[in-house]
């Protein structure tokens, strides 16, 4: 069959006339109508740059130096603006990464889709615009939201709108640039499910760009792995995941945390440094299998077996990766006799201050989190897991003192903590350290690393000598050479290490890690997790680990607390929780986490969708729960039942939950 897209020897450079820097070299691949091709790689490898060229698009500071991009036999790189405009949206459509910024905020979403159809005169014959819009919304699983503005929709709904817009002209090719990166696990899975069904119903080809191999495994037929601007391996998706050939693909796959704890070989070491790329194989500096001649010999894709190609001359010498099962080494159960470092009791949180007027008018206060109680023992890691908006970070804010709780108490070492930051003692401030989600924003860009690290030492009056900083840098896997750099000279992973070092420097009792991995690449993530595991052993510091990623959590946490719409639904030992997720919501979360195999995920439909609860009355899950037993769920607060290692909050009695679990497994 003739391929729909043929990319031949594509080379792209960024810069300006006279000083071009080549970022993509000699990329060639093709795929047929109806096929889903995935491009995967770490950030900065050039995957999005290549993908946008498939729309004939390049930013003003980029230049396609070599090669051609053939779409149905036409070279997109040579087309003029008018013909490109006719193609884009009509025959080649884009689903952008961030729907919040790519939908026009001042325009109703229906009008935005209508605009697309009108521009390309793509209304099917004998159909009114209204019917076509309704059809599109049904197609992407939305109710009729055409009259709404983008901000009235959730992130997942917005992404569905951009998908509806992209398929509105029945394109031949859909280019998806990390379409699910900003979304929750459960929403991610629903979008993937949607794309799969769209593909079978419309029959368009897809180019799916992502850094998330686990997601790709759910949707792509073939995958191209990119490294430093070159394709290093092209293989059918299943073959790649089960037996990667190129050392980089292996490392990438090994870096992915999975819930079952299966891991094949070692993760990637080092990081891509554009200034240290040898003339030969670009992966040589990070490769475990490199020989002396790798450095000088450029590698090109050569066919390996059926439908596979790899750019590594030593692929035959490398023994196939053996999958092995490595569970995170559990620290011995913390002694129950030891008093808790942190205990939180009946915490209720709200961003509004209580007002007499509201009570008088009978308006309910919007409570973000309620009835939050848990404990952390010394050296224990408790993970707080939930979708975005579930109140995870809000709880962390309250513990750190940046949000005054509405009610309830927080105790550190048995002493009550003042609700406001300013009333806490310096010693208390030292003992709780906070690590933020985004290392780009948590380090002052105008200060050198030395000054960033020295400031807390001086502030808390901790004695230090020249070696203190070096020691802490070594403990997070960096060296003293970083002290005189500015944060922008560091990679994201290195910055997060500095942030961790800053927190550890003052010898805290409790570390609050607020989604500290979500801004990082998979390979970087896995190394930060390793770092945290070793720090946990050495420093015996308690950690409150906030994450939406259950796979990461299972590697690190002793206990997991599951949060939904501001309420703790279940708390249990990590192993217990993963093996028998009693609570229906925990089941939903676990099922949505992608593994490395196609798993025919189907999101569960709620048992009684109509019966939702209002805040503070029924179970927060009512209306979404697949095991809802009736009116009682929506109307009365579920009881808290204690289990062996924690508690569970559900109307369904424990014994029935277990039975339901076994049924689901069978």
Partner 1 sequence: MTAIVSRPARSLHGWHTTPGPFKAGAVILGVHLLFAIVGVFWTPYGYAEMGAGLPLSGTSWQHPMGLDQIGRDVFSRFMYGAHIVLLLSFAGTVLGMVTGAAIGLISGYVGGWLDDILQRVVEAMISIPFLALALVMIIAAGPALAGQPALIIVVVAIVYAPRITRIARAAAMEVATREYVAAAELRGEGTLSVVFREILPNTANVLLVEFSLRLSYAPILIGALGFLGFGIRPPTPEWGLMISENRNLLIASPMTVFGPGLGLASLVIGFNLFTDGLSRMLGQRPVMGA
Q: Are 569 and 648 in contact (CB under 8 A)?
A: yes
Q: Collect all residues with Cβ–Cβ distance below 8 Å to 556 and sequence separation of at least 6.
A: 328, 381, 383, 529, 532, 533, 536, 543, 545
- Least separation in angstroms between residue 455's CB and partner 1 is 8
Q: Which of 2, 41, 76 is nearest to 234 (CA)?
A: 41
Task: Pick the closer one to partner 1 by CB: 402 or 631.
Answer: 402
Reported in sequence order, the residue ranges of 170-229 that DSSP labels E, i.e. its strands, are 173-177, 205-210, 222-227
448 contributes a contact to partner 1 by CB under 8 A: no
Question: Could you tell me the smallest distance in angstroms from the CB atom of residue 520 to partner 1?
Answer: 11
Whichever of 197 and 444 has its CB closer to partner 1, that residue is: 444
- Between 224 and 401, name the residue whose CB sits nearer to partner 1: 401
Residue with tokens 């946008």: 52
Q: CA-CA distance, 35 to 206, in Å (whole number)?
A: 6
Among residues 227 and 434, whose Cβ is nearest to partner 1?
A: 434
Sequence-separated (6 or more) residues with CB below 8 Å from residue 291? 314
* Residue 436 in contact with partner 1, rule: CB under 8 A: yes
Q: What angle do CA 286, 290, 295 make, to 5 degrees?
A: 85
Q: Which stretch binds partner 1 (CB under 8 A): 236-244, 296-304, 340-348, 427-435?
A: 427-435
Instruction: Choose the stretch contacting partner 1; rule: CB under 8 A; options: 70-78, 149-157, 350-358, 424-432.
Output: 424-432
Question: Which residues does 222 contact at the CB level (< 8 Å), separation at least 6?
Answer: 31, 35, 36, 37, 38, 234, 235, 236, 237, 307
What contacts 379, CB < 8 A, 6 or more positions away?
Answer: 331, 334, 536, 540, 541, 542
Tell me the window of 229-237, 440-448, 523-531, 618-626 that interacts with partner 1 (CB under 8 A): 440-448
- Binding flag, residue 401, partner 1 (CB under 8 A): yes
Structure tokens at 229: 């601007």
Nearer to partner 1 by Cβ, of 97 and 628: the residue is: 97
Residue of 656, 615, 659, 620 lying closest to 638 (CA atoms): 620
8 Å CB contact between 376 and 542 = yes
> Based on CB atoms, which residue is closest to partner 1, 411 or 455?
455
Which residues have a Cβ under 8 Å from the Cβ of 56 and sit 6 or more positions away? 69, 76, 77, 79, 84, 87, 88, 92
Residue 14 interacts with partner 1 (CB under 8 A): yes or no: no
Selected from 72, 238, 440, 635, the binder of partner 1 by CB under 8 A is: 440
C-beta of 429 vs 664, nearer to partner 1: 429
Read off the tokens for 119: 């521009």
Other CB atoms within 10 Å distance of the CB of residue 37 = 24
Report whether 400 contacts 435 (CB < 8 A).
no
User: Would you count residue 441 as binding partner 1 (CB under 8 A)?
Assistant: yes
Compute the least distance from the CB of residue 477 to partner 1, in Å: 21
Select from 31, 137, 434, 545 the one that contacts partner 1 (CB under 8 A).
Answer: 434
CB of 421 to partner 1, least distance (A): 6
Q: What is the 3-state secondary structure (H, E, C) of 279-290?
A: CCCCCHHHCCCC
Burial class from Cβ neighbours inside 10 Å (0-12, 13-18, 19+) for residue 273 reads exposed
- Name the nearest CA neighbour of 490 among 437, 442, 449, 526: 449
Write phi, then psi, for 15 (nearest 5 degrees): 140, -140
Q: Least distance to partner 1 from the beta carbon of 571, Å?
A: 26
Window of 57-65, 436-444, 583-591, 634-642 that interacts with partner 1 by CB under 8 A: 436-444
Site size toward partner 1 (CB under 8 A) is 32
Does 295 bind partner 1 (CB under 8 A)? Our answer is: no
Q: Does 442 bind partner 1 (CB under 8 A)?
A: yes
Provide the total of helices (H) and of strands (E) in the chain, helices listed first.
Answer: 23, 26
C-alpha dihedral (389, 527, 21, 58), degrees to nearest 10: -30
* Cβ proximity to partner 1, 397 vs 559, nearer residue: 397
What backbone torsions phi and psi does residue 85 show, to the nearest 5 degrees?
-60, -35
The interface mask with partner 1, positions 169-208, x = CB under 8 A, is: -------------x--------------------------
Nearer to partner 1, 451 or 580 (CB): 451
- Residues constituting the chain: 666
Query: Which of 80-88, 318-326, 383-391, 439-447 is the region at the interface with partner 1 (rule: CB under 8 A)?
Result: 439-447
Q: Which stretch binds partner 1 (CB under 8 A): 163-171, 189-197, 397-405, 539-547?
A: 397-405
Q: Site mask, partner 1, residues 571-610, x = CB under 8 A?
A: ----------------------------------------
- Show contacts with partner 1 in window 96-135 (CB under 8 A): 98
374 and 396 Cβ atoms separated by less than 8 Å: no
Stretch in the footprint of partner 1 (CB under 8 A) among 165-173, 262-270, 284-292, 398-406? 398-406
Nearer to partner 1, 233 or 454 (CB): 454
Q: Give whole-number Cα distances, 431 to 413, 418, 534, 547, in Å.
A: 10, 14, 20, 22
Member of 214, 519, 561, 622 binding partner 1 (CB under 8 A): 519
Identified binder of partner 1 from the candidate list 85, 116, 239, 421, rule CB under 8 A: 421
For the bound state, the minimum distance from the C-beta of residue 655 to partner 1, rounded and expressed in Å, comes to: 44
Cβ distance to partner 1 smaller for residue 485 or 539: 485
Whichever of 519 and 648 has its CB closer to partner 1, that residue is 519
Chain positions 449 to 488 lying near partner 1, rule: CB under 8 A, are 455-456, 459-460, 486, 488
Q: Where are the beta strands (DSSP E) in 245-313?
A: 262-264, 302-303, 309-310
Out of 107, 127, 338, 426, the only residue in the binding site for partner 1 (CB under 8 A) is 426
Per CB under 8 A, the list member of 446, 537, 631, 659 interacting with partner 1 is 446
Give dist(CA 147, CA 161) in Å, integer: 12
Q: Residue 38: which of 203, 157, 161, 210 has the closest Cα? A: 210
Least distance CB 513 / partner 1 (angstroms): 13
Instruction: Rank residues 107 and 426 by Cβ distance to partner 1 and give the closer one.
Output: 426
Rounded to whole angstroms, the Cα distance separating 274 from 285 reads: 11
* Closer residue to partner 1 (CB): 397 or 565: 397
Q: Which stretch binds partner 1 (CB under 8 A): 282-290, 384-392, 422-430, 571-579?
A: 422-430
Residue in the block written with tokens 């939050």: 372
- Residues in touch with partner 1 (CB under 8 A): 98, 182, 400-402, 421-422, 424, 426, 429, 432-434, 436-438, 440-447, 455-456, 459-460, 486, 488, 502, 519
């Amino acid at each position: 069959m003739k391929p729909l897209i043929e990319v031949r020897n594509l080379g792209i450079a960024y810069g300006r006339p006279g000083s071009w820097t080549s970022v993509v070299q000699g990329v060639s691949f093709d795929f047929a109508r109806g096929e889903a091709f995935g491009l995967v790689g770490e950030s900065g490898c050039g995957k999005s740059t290549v993908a946008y060229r498939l729309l004939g698009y390049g930013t003003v500071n980029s230049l396609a130096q070599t090669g051609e991009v053939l779409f149905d036999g036409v070279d997109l790189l040579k087309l003029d603006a008018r013909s490109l405009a006719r193609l884009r949206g009509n025959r080649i459509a884009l689903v952008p990464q961030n729907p919040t910024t790519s939908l026009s905020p001042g325009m109703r979403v229906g009008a935005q889709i209508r605009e697309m159809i009108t521009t390309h005169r793509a209304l099917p014959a004998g159909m009114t615009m209204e019917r076509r819009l309704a059809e599109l919304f049904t197609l992407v699983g939305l109710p009729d939201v055409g009259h709404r503005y983008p901000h009235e929709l959730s992130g997942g709904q917005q992404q569905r709108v951009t998908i509806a817009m992209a398929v509105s002209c029945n394109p031949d090719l859909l280019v998806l640039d990390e379409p699910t990166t900003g979304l929750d696990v459960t929403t991610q899975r629903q979008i993937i499910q949607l794309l799969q069904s769209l593909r079978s119903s419309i029959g368009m080809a897809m180019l799916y760009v992502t850094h998330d191999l686990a997601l790709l495994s759910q949707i792509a037929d073939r995958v191209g792995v990119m490294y430093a601007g070159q394709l290093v391996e092209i293989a059918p998706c299943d073959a790649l995941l089960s037996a990667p050939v190129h050392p980089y693909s292996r490392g990438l796959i090994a870096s992915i945390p999975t819930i079952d704890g299966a891991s094949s070989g070692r993760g990637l070491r080092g990081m891509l440094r554009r200034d240290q790329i040898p003339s030969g194989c670009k992966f040589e500096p990070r490769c475990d299998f490199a020989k002396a001649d790798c450095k000088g010999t450029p590698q090109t894709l050569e066919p390996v077996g059926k439908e596979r190609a790899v750019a590594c001359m030593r692929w035959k010498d490398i023994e196939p990766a053996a999958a092995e099962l490595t569970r995170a080494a559990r620290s011995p159960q913390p002694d129950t006799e030891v008093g808790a470092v942190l205990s939180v009791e009946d915490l209720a949180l709200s961003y509004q201050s209580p007002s007499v007027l509201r009570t008088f008018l009978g308006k309910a206060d919007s409570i973000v989190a309620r009835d939050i109680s848990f404990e952390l023992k010394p050296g224990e890691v408790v993970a707080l897991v939930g979708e975005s908006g579930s109140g995870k970070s809000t709880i962390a804010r309250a513990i750190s003192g940046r949000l005054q709780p509405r009610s309830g108490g927080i105790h550190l070492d048995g002493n009550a903590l003042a609700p406001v930051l300013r009333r806490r003692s310096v010693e208390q401030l030292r003992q709780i350290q906070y690590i933020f989600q985004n290392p780009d924003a948590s380090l002052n860009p105008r200060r050198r690393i030395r000054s960033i690290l020295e400031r807390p030492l001086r502030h808390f009056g901790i004695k230090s000598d020249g070696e203190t900083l070096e020691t802490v840098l070594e403990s997070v896997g960096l060296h003293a050479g970083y002290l005189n750099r500015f944060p922008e000279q560091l990679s994201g992973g290195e910055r997060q290490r500095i942030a961790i070092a800053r927190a550890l420097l003052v010898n805290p009792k409790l570390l609050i890690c607020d989604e500290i991995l979500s801004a990082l690449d998979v390979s970087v993530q896995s190394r930060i997790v390793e770092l945290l595991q070793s720090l946990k052993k050495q420093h015996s510091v308690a950690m409150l680990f906030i994450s939406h990623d259950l796979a990461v959590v299972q590697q690190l946490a002793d206990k997991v607390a599951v949060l939904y719409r501001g309420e703790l639904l279940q708390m249990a030992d990590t192993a217990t929780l993963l093996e028998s997720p009693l609570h229906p919501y925990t089941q939903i979360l676990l099922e949505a986490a992608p593994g490395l195999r196609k798993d025919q995920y189907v999101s569960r439909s709620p048992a009684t969708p109509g019966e939702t609860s209002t805040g503070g009355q029924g179970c927060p899950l009512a209306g979404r729960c697949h095991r809802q037993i009736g009116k009682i769920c929506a109307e009365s607060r579920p009881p808290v039942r204690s289990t062996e290692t924690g508690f569970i909050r559900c109307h369904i009695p424990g014994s029935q939950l277990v039975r339901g679990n076994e049924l689901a497994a069978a």
